[in-house]
Amino acid sequence: MRKNYQILLCESFYENETFIEKPVCEVGSSTSTFSGQAYNVEFYTKIDGTHQLTFNLPRYYYDEYTGERVKNNLVELIVNKSRLEVTKTNRDGQIKTFYMIVNSRKDKEEKGVFSYEYSCGDAYIEELGKHGYGVVFDDDVEGNGLGG
């Protein structure tokens, strides 16, 4: 993503029979100067209307004040099934928020920088799957969602 975005790691829980999701920390944003933040951030809408988010997090970064190599604690917080809140500004200036689930984390090494590459999908698809529902993206459903 080029500009005007923010990725937050969220924790979710039930309180008094209400589902609550609250931000824990910022993973990356277009305004952050944190050296350990997400980079190579790509957010796109697939042809079936679902959303995909990919990004990298360095395992280590250099502290800009001390110059020391520091372990990036974000990589220990973000694991498979972690929930992320992505806020971005569209071309027309609209601010949109998307909820994503981390689907995979892969080791990556590029130019001597060791990082993790994360791949995320829409949270609503994950939530529907937990409750036994499936989402079918098929041209043959004839508007009723039951299939041809």
What are 12's two structure tokens? Answer: 């979710």
E strands, 18-112, where? Answer: 18-29, 39-45, 51-58, 60-62, 69-71, 83-89, 95-110
Residue 147: pLDDT band with limits 50, 70, 90: very low
Q: How many CB atoms lie within 10 A of CB 63?
A: 11
Q: What is the pLDDT of residues 84-110, one digit of tens each?
A: 999 998 888 899 999 999 999 999 988
> Across residues 118-130, what is the average pLDDT?
79
Residue 37: pLDDT band with limits 50, 70, 90: very high
User: How high is the pLDDT of residue 110?
Assistant: 85
Q: What SS3 class is residue 26?
A: strand
What's the pTM value of the predicted model, to 2 decimals?
Answer: 0.80
Residue 148: pLDDT band with limits 50, 70, 90: very low
